[in-house]
Amino acid sequence: MTEKKKLIAGNWKMNGSLQANAALLQGLRDGIGQPACNVAVAVPAPYLAQVQALVAGSAIALAAQDVSQHEAGAFTGESSAAMLRDFGTRYVLVGHSERRQYHGESDAVVAAKAKQALAAGITPIVCVGETLEQREAGQTEAVVKRQLAAVIQANGHCISEIVVAYEPVWAIGTGRTATPEQAQAVHAVLRAQLAAATAQAGRIALLYGGSMNAANAAQLLAQPDIDGGLVGGASLKAADFLQIIAAAQSNQA
Ligand code: 13P
């Protein structure tokens, strides 16, 4: 349905070491060739420089896991979008559920982070998703629409430059994946919301995340509005991540 390239992004979360990163990226580089889809790895901030060097000349793009909502200044511990850009960062996750949950990030903060990324020429991967409680209360659509609306509102015509990741919180790290139908239903809602905001909605990649693995990726990626994956645990093993990339390529329009 879409001609755009699929995007498979690995989110390493707070995992890795100089040695483990080098081994993982070597494994990816050995197996990746020239993929028909886009590939990125979102690494912990201390490893941006290391991974920038290790992915140079390969098909793997560098991504960060978070960015400050501020441009510069007295914000101890934060990394600005310009700093991420300095290391060749192509994408940055904003509003991951772990940031929303453990660091109290509001929709407004997430929208401001997306804005900083866009201003620095970095593509924000805006994460949205409902908790199990919200799903069971029938609030899934309302929750993801509210989360995305804040980003649309703050970013105007730039909205066509974002990537959206639907990550149901109950599927993250639990081994409990959304069914392809459940994921597609939410993706269709997000696509319609984007279409109301921009004529370019068709080119916005909508990723699914939440226990995506080598075994279930192909079915998820075959859905018309699933344009890629945001992969946690399975991105830490080269063989698994390569299989997900292969699944994306065979689903490439
Ligand atoms: P898992 O793939 O480990 O469930 O993590 C998903 C996720 O949160 C990616 O951002």
SS3 letters across 145-199: HHHHHHHHHHHHHHHHHCEEEECCHHHCCCCCCCCHHHHHHHHHHHHHHHHHHCC
The domain segmentation of the chain, as residue ranges, is 7-250
Using one digit for the tens of pLDDT, what is the confidence trace for 85-112? 999 999 999 999 999 999 999 999 999 9
Q: Is the CB of 178 under 6 A from ligand 1?
A: no
Using one digit for the tens of pLDDT, what is the confidence trace for 170-217? 999 998 999 999 999 999 999 999 999 999 999 999 999 999 999 999
Q: Is the CB of 80 under 6 A from ligand 1?
A: no
Instruction: Name the CATH architecture for the domain at 7-250.
Output: Alpha-Beta Barrel (3.20)
**pTM of structure:** 0.97
CA-proximal residue: ligand 1, atom 9 (nearest): 232
